[in-house]
Amino acid sequence: MRTGARPFILMLALVVGCNGSRDQLLADLQSPRPEVRALAVKKLAGQNNADDLILFTRAAKDLAAIVRAEAAVALGESQDPRVVDLLGELLEDSDEEVQGRAAMALSKVKNDKAKAYLMLQYGRRGRTTRQVIVQALKNANVPGAMAEVVAAEAKSQWDRNLLTLSEGELPERVGAAEELGKSGRPEAVNRLLPLVRDSQVVLAAAAVRGLGDAGDKRAVGAIALLLDESFPELRESAITALMKLQDPAVAPRLQAVALEKSAVSPQALDAIVSFPRTPETDAALCAVALDGAPADALVAAQAMRSRGGCPADPIGERLSRVTTAANGLQAVMGLGPSAQALLPKVTPWLQQNDAALRLLAVDAVASVGDASVIPLLQKLLEQESKGLEALRTDWVVQKLPEAYGAEFDPSGSASSLPTGAPKDERAARHATLFDRVKALNAQRARDSGRPVVKPRAPTELFDDVEPARLVPLATVLRALAMLRAPGALELLKGYSQDSSLPLRTAALQGLARLGAEGVAVAREGLLEPERDLQKALAISLVDGGEVGVAALVELLPKMGSEKLLVLDALTRSTAVPASASPVLQAVVKDGGPEAALAAVLLARIQAKDAVPTLIKALDETNTVARRDVLLALGTLGDAQAADVVSRDLFHDLPEIRAAAATALKRMGATTQTESLDALRSDYYRTVRDAAGAALAKGGTASEGAR
């Protein structure tokens, strides 16, 4: 009996132990700690008890995401068709981890309803969940999983936009028109073309923008007619669309808009500049260079500078008459060295009594770059200096103090106040919130190694000379620097600390073009608080060549919000050194809009060492620089980045999907053919084009369109 009783006692102990363990797990489901509840759900799921399904259903409603995620897994393991709707709800959860767990759980149920949930939610979720949904469909043995969900998403978007265009309210129809155009489908063009003459201007403008995105040149004629409309919004949309359609045949029409000197003229000029070079576009640009508004004429002439310039005779004819001289001088200023033959007709205007024409002539000869005019400019300098000498004479002989007295310093401590000052007054003067914020910002700047920019102390009680009166002198100073006149370096150094902003700006801009010694002085101007000065100086440093570019790169880590100005200037240069890679990588790590420009520059200098930094930047889901980082990785062509880049083929934003496909093409990646082939059915034309180009060896984006 003793031998037979032993197995019975052991079995009884085992049952009691299991029940005790289960009771504990049931108690843990009520724990106030989310991690304990989640672990309890996981362990109960491992016991495969059908009666626990109700427990998992309740856990799916838990306030903690970690618990809902474990509940999704447990529901999927049950493979019970009744849980499909609940898993569909979890697929819409606010937490991506829960969404992913729910998607994989649905793949285990393997019925049509579960598949329908996965197909539906693909177009509504973010990149991570979309990737998991495709994997879930593959696990459920759905053939061509990604191709199927991409096609389903495209069909859903098309049907929704088509219905909205027909039956929606006006704001909804406007959005639908633009979205239909982005599809690039011929049917979309057929739907939108009649709308360009709709009585609702906002809808007509949206249809025009959509036609531009569609990329179908059948729409060029209808859109070009809208340039004669009087509605600014419609004209702007037409110009934007024509720029995207890139048909040089409309250059004469755009030329007429650019010459009317209206609010949309600069936009029309930008469109002409963007077109492929043809005799029509060259003629349009030269016409604007002669007769456009001053700013537009300068842009048009600068565009023609690299194309060999414009015919000299029409410009020379303008220079021969006072009434049209300003147009001719403006054209020469933009054409620069390509207008060398016109210099003899420009120099007489340096002695013109009309100050406006004289200044245009100074800028024109400086742009041409012929040193023979230096004596004339030096004579002008002498005249301008003498004319200002009396006005700029200090009427206070003593030098003004450049620091506050102990009793008046707003940044001083309470101990610097007069001992007799009332307590309330002392608090009001030294404990204001604004002063505290300034002090904290200054301390942060010092801690980060950035110099603290201090306001320039006034050197005059009152300046008798208006800034506009100093512009002629500033123009001559800048011209002498551009021509590298003898003595220009010392002359501009003397004006580099001038109290007048126009003169100081001109001096610093000129010094930036005078080699290493000039750059050493000019670079300090980037730390001044005047934003216009910083922008102009940064561009001048880039124009100054390698020395100026190196100075900008060196100063970049010390800059605060001015980084964007410096980076924008650097993108204009082709002389950014490879040694700038560490500095630019630091900008990418900091994130923000500056990271986008830094990524562009890293790609341009072929900074292979920046690949890990750029890959790391893609971990930031909300970075505004994602598109530029992807394209930079593609340009650098490092195959180790292919897997990371390919994840963005699942991104919910079409511009990111297109950038990822383009990057994969540039780096020659060949292992993502399934995903790229699926994107050839994408709703958006740009994505289809990019995916097709990536699949076509040596092909172009248009070859990949579908």
Alpha-carbon span 288 to 295, nearest angstrom: 10
pLDDT of residue 9: 38
Is the CB of residue 359 less than 8 Å from the CB of residue 393? Answer: no
Q: To the nearest whole percent, how much of the chain has pLDDT over 70?
A: 85
- Burial group, residue 292, by CB count within 10 angstroms (0-12, 13-18, 19+): buried
Q: What SS3 state is found at 672?
A: coil
- The 10 Å CB-count burial string (b at 16+, else e) for 667-680 is bebeebeebbbbbb
Q: What is the pLDDT of residues 526-567, one digit of tens each?
A: 888 888 999 999 999 999 899 999 999 999 998 887 899 999
Dihedral class, residue 592 (left if φ above 0, else alpha if ψ from -120 to 50, else beta):
left
Structure-block tokens of residue 643 = 């897997």
pLDDT at position 702: 40
One DSSP character per residue, 250-312 reads: GHHHHHHHHHTTSTTHHHHHHHHHHSPP-HHHHHHHHHHHHHS-HHHHHHHHHHHHTTT---H
Q: Do the beta carbons of residue 318 and residue 347 sit within 8 Å?
A: no
Contact 655, 621 (CB under 8 A): no
The DSSP secondary structure of 429-445, one letter per residue, reads HH--HHHHHHHHHHHHH
Q: Is the pLDDT of residue 325 over 90?
A: yes
- The structure tokens listed for 363 are 């800028």
203-226, pLDDT tens digit by residue? 999 999 999 999 999 999 999 999
The pLDDT of residue 17 is: 40
Q: Which residue, chain included where needed, has tokens 């902003």?
A: 501
Domains in the chain: boundaries = 26-142, 156-335
For 38-75, what is each residue's pLDDT tens digit? 999 999 999 988 889 999 999 999 999 999 999 999 99
Query: How much of the chain is in helix, strand and coil states, percent to nearest 5?
Result: 75, 0, 25
Q: H-helix or E-strand containing 626?
A: helix 626-636
Nearest in space to 38 (alpha carbons), one of 92, 85, 88, 95: 95
The mean pLDDT of the chain is 87
Q: Which helix (H) or strand (E) holds 356?
A: helix 355-368
CA angle, 638 as apex, 637 and 644 as ends, to 5°? 110
Where is pLDDT greater, at 365 or 422? Answer: 365
In whole angstroms, what separates CA 705 from the centre of its chain?
26
Asked if 99 and 73 count as a contact pair (C-beta separation under 8 A), the reply is: no
- Tokens, residue 499: 């109290």
> What is the rounded average pLDDT of the residues 453-461?
50
> Which pair of tokens denotes residue 703?
């070859």
- Residue at token pair 């005249």: 383
Written as six digits, the tokens of 59 are: 């856990």
Q: What is the pLDDT of residue 498?
A: 86
Tokens of 442: 């200054």
Domain 26-142 identical in fold to domain 156-335: yes
């299991």: which residue's tokens?
Answer: 18
Neighbours of 435 (CB within 10 A): 13
Q: Which pLDDT band, with edges at 50, 70 and 90, does 415 fall under?
A: very low
Within its chain, how far is the Cα of 585 from the centroid? 17
Contacts of 520 (CB under 8 A, 6+ apart): 551
Q: Answer yes or no: are the C-beta atoms of 341 and 313 closer than 8 Å.
A: no
**Which residues make Cβ contacts (< 8 Å) with residue 147, sequence separation at least 6?**
677, 678, 681
Residue of higher predicted confidence among 9 and 627: 627
pLDDT at 463 over 90: no
Q: Which CATH class is domain 156-335?
A: mainly alpha
Long-range contacts of 220-223 (CB under 8 A, 24+ apart): 220/245, 220/247, 220/249, 220/250, 222/193, 222/196, 223/196
For 376, the token pair is 């004339």
33 versus 441: the higher-pLDDT residue is 33
Residue 213 has a pLDDT of 96
pLDDT digits (tens, 9 = 90+) for 22-33: 889 999 999 999
Q: Give residue 262's pLDDT.
A: 94
Residue at 39: amino acid letter: L
Q: Residue 655 pLDDT > 50, yes or no?
A: yes
CA distance 297 to 411: 49
Q: Transcribe 61-97 into DSSP letters.
A: T-SSHHHHHHHHHHHHHHT-GGGHHHHHHHTT-SSHH
Query: Rounded distance, CA 657 to CA 647, Å?
Result: 9
Location of structure tokens 């008459």: 321
Domain 26-142: CATH class, spelled out: mainly alpha
C-beta separation of 562 from 532 below 8 A: no
